[in-house]
Amino acid sequence: METLTALTVGLIAWSFAVHLPLVYTVLGLVWLLPTLEVLGIKKNNDRYFEIAKRLSRYLIFIYAIGGLFGTIITVFLAGLMPIFTNAAGVLLWPVWGVAIVFGVAISLPLIGFYYRSFGKMDDAKHAALGYVLAIFTSIIPAMFRLVFAFINYPVGVVVKPDPNSVIGFDLGADLGQALTNPTYPPLLIATLTGAVAFTATLISAVYTWRYAKTKDEIYKLGKEFFAKAALILGVIYVLSAVWYLYEVYQYSPTVAWSIFGSPPSYLPSSLQPVYQPDLNLSWLFYLNIVLGVIVLIHLALALRSSNAPLAMLAFLAVIALMDGAEVLNGLAHLPYAIVPSPPIALALVNSYGVNFALQVANTLKVSTLITPSLNSLVQLMGQEPWLLGFSLAMFVLFNVVLLAGVYYVFALRPQQTPQTPK
């Protein structure tokens, strides 16, 4: 059963692993493409439109896979964990519902319309449509980042004993108060700007490599634009990340301890055993800084030259940086699924006693969340083991399709069509 538990939890991890780099790319593209169109209008240069048109094919292709593995599959799998939905459902399900509505019912059709309407409507109106799409698409990470902020510091949480609950209590939250979470604004800003910087760096690296090989001027134009965009948004990302780390240090002792390698100075020694993290991820934190420096060097040089080997190194480095940042943020709260902050723990002690406070803290640990007796997903895999094999086959298939699609989008240049005066 332990092996089965690990495999089923790994299924969710795999879904996230497929989802994250794809959704970051989509989120970056929906902001970059209309910006390219605006530049094309201002500079009267059709090459900006050509780049935007080419990359829009990548947008619609990747969104289908990224959205499938993120907003749909991952939420469904999490829904099979009754302890998770029972403990945090009052907060999370409205948030997930909004994300699914905007991700599936609104953004996906808009992406299709945006792509199909290239060259068929006024350029300025089409760029405006692109920004509308970007705003709607950004609501999806805005909702999910609220969940991550709640995990780090559950502002507005309400805990009440409930003998009918599978975990002995109900955990709810006031959404209005949850939005005041001090870790939420910097996390959201870092996510949005980081996604644009990540995507711009990827494309800049590919275009730098292509320009070094072909000397095609469109790749020169593209690499310079995306390098500038990545530098500007990258600076904002770094500043918001520093802000986020400061807030985490102040309000989430387990996360801060894991990231920086030592307990926060304000944490009493008597509480250190309660908040000690499972993992010391300070090495990953410093590795991310090194990867960021590599990316910065590439972006600075891409404005003046075309170093193909460095571009490919930056391509890999920025993917590793994105994965590293998400792993850091996603694992630093262990052993807890939701970190019981000191003020909340004190309030529980005062209201219901020490034993109940300890019960809540122990229940909110990940080890409890994946207990087979409470996990419908583990039970399902035990009854239908073929689902794991099917998932593995689908994993291989989607990776092959994804790699083929990326090659097609970046390696092949579409034929230029004559531009008609607007």
Quick one: 205 and 304 in the same domain?
yes
pLDDT digits (tens, 9 = 90+) for 123-139: 899 999 999 999 988 88
Separation CA 194–CA 27 (nearest Å): 10
Q: What percent of the chain has pLDDT over 70?
A: 69
What SS3 state is found at 365? strand
CB within 8 A of 52, min separation 6: which ones? 33, 34, 36, 37, 40, 118
Please check whether residues 311 and 388 belong to one and the same domain.
no
For the chain, helix (H) and strand (E) counts, in that order, are 18, 2
Q: Is residue 143 situated within a structural domain?
A: yes
The helix or strand, by DSSP H or E, that contains position 37, with its residue range, turns out to be: helix 2-43
- Do 197 and 30 touch, CB atoms closer than 8 A? no
Question: Tokens 């019912």 identify what position?
Answer: 105
What residue numbers bound the domain in which 203 lies?
A: 182-339
| In a domain? residue 301 | yes
Report pLDDT for 190. 94
Of 339, 360, 395, the one marking the end of a domain is 339
Query: What pLDDT sits at residue 56?
Result: 85
More confident residue, 171 or 249: 249
Query: How far apart are the C-alpha atoms of 296 and 303, rounded to whole Å?
Result: 11
The more confidently predicted of residues 293 and 268 is 293
Share of the chain above pLDDT 90, in %: 23
What's the whole-number mean pLDDT along residues 333-348? 77
Flag whether pLDDT at 237 surpasses 50: yes
Q: Indicate whether 301 and 389 sit together in one domain.
A: no
Lowest mean pLDDT among 11-15, 193-197, 326-330: 11-15
Quick one: 300 and 381 in the same domain?
Answer: no
Residues 112 and 228 in one domain: no
| Within-domain flag for 166 | no
Say which residue, 252 or 7, is predicted with more confidence: 252
Same domain? For 19 and 111 the reply is yes
Query: What is residue 283's predicted lDDT score, i.e. its pLDDT?
Result: 94
Least confident of 47-51, 114-118, 377-381: 377-381
Which tens digits make up the pLDDT trace of 245-287? 999 999 999 999 999 999 999 888 877 888 889 889 999 999 9
pLDDT value at position 345? 73
- For residue 377, is pLDDT > 80? no
For 306, the token pair is 């075309």
Q: How confident is the model at residue 187 (pLDDT cuts 50, 70, 90)?
A: very high
Q: Are residues 257 and 317 in the same domain?
A: yes
Amino acid at 104: V
The CATH code of the domain that includes 219 is: 1.20.120
In a domain, 422, yes or no: no
Same domain, 139 and 267: no
Q: Which one is predicted more confidently, 196 or 409? A: 196
Are 210 and 296 within one domain? yes
DSSP labels for 302-352?
HTT---HHHHHHHHHHHHHHHHHHHHHHHHTTTTBSS---HHHHHHHHHHH
Residue 362 lies in a domain: no
Q: With H, G, I as helix, E, B as strand and everything else as coil, classify residue 154.
A: coil
Domain count within the chain: 2
**What's the pLDDT at 312?**
85
Of the segments 11-25, 95-109, 278-292, which one has the largest average pLDDT value?
278-292
* Mean residue pLDDT across the chain: 77
Counting Cα atoms < 13 Å in the Cβ hemisphere of 139 gives 18
- Is the same domain home to 143 and 188? no
Residue 358 located in a structural domain: no
CB atoms within 10 A of CB 196: 27
Whether 169 is covered by a domain: the verdict is no
Statement to judge: residues 133 and 56 lie in one domain: yes
Most confident of 47-56, 111-120, 250-259, 314-323: 250-259
Asked whether the predicted pLDDT for residue 85 surpasses 60, the reply is no
Residue at 361 is within a domain: no
- Whole-number pLDDT of residue 145: 86
Tokens 């004993």 belong to: 161
